[in-house]
Amino acid sequence: MKLRIKFAKHGAMKFIGHLDMMRFFQKAVRRAGIDIRYSEGFSPHQIMSFAAPLGVGVESDGEYMDIEVCSMTSAGEIKEALNGVMVEGVEILSVTVLPDNARNAMASVAAASYRLRMKEGGFPVEDLADRLAAFYAQPSIPYTKETKKGPQQTDLKPGIRALRAEEDGSVSMLVNAGSSGNIKPAAVWEAFCDYAGCDIPLSACLLTRLETYTETAGEDGSRLTALSDVGAAE
């Protein structure tokens, strides 16, 4: 049986990298007594996969991992058992039973939403909402990223689905997060600061991933669906 586990990551745990989080959950699953399925072969390992890895220093309310179990009583009991072995800063938010034909979390990711706010006070940008709207309205948003082969020019605009200032003074954005078009929120913010002529490093801000989405087909075309809404939650 396939299960999708949604969890939050806050506080000091935001400085724990992806590989260490994988090791943490492997141990947590054993401590929680979950009957997880193991791969076959000479060196069996837990069948576990994560959605889009989170950058170090970024908090999240929408992280996902998929596991396969050989047996279970209920998704609610698995959630309770896992929360019983979590450390401060990590919380299991939901456990969902996936359909047999569901793609794993990593292959399903299409987009992710983020919130950016200053650690102290508000953004020192005059008319922030209007400046963001004008920035996003550009036909293209050029950005130079450093690669192993040197600087590479790219256009961020096709990968930004939404960008706006919120009433509480924060900035929200929805960007592509799939393997074919991953846009980092840090790149969007850096490009905006260049456009607006302001110098606000990401280190002065708090960045939180709010949700991770997959793309599903509907009667009126494709739409974004939270990964936790695929399957049956208990």
Distance between CA atoms of residues 5 and 233, nearest Å? 10
Distance between CA atoms of residues 69 and 88, nearest Å? 26
The verdict on residue 15 lying in a domain is yes
Domain with 195, as residue range(s), is 108-228
The verdict on residue 234 lying in a domain is no
The verdict on residue 233 lying in a domain is no
Asked if residue 101 and residue 8 are part of one domain, the reply reads: yes
Strands (E), the chain: 2-9, 48-50, 59-68, 90-97, 109-118, 142-147, 150-155, 160-165, 171-176, 205-218, 221-226, 232-233
The verdict on residue 31 lying in a domain is yes
Q: Checking DSSP bridges between strand 59-68 and strand 2-9, what pairing results, if any?
A: antiparallel
Tens-place pLDDT, residues 126-147: 899 999 999 999 999 999 887 7
Asked if residue 98 and residue 26 are part of one domain, the reply reads: yes
Confidence of residue 219 (pLDDT cuts 50, 70, 90): low
The verdict on residue 209 lying in a domain is yes
Asked if residue 146 and residue 82 are part of one domain, the reply reads: no
pTM of the model: 0.90
pLDDT for the residue 170: 93
Give Cα 85 to chain centroid, integer Å.
Answer: 22
CATH of the domain at 82: 3.30.70.580
**Into how many domains does the chain fold?**
2
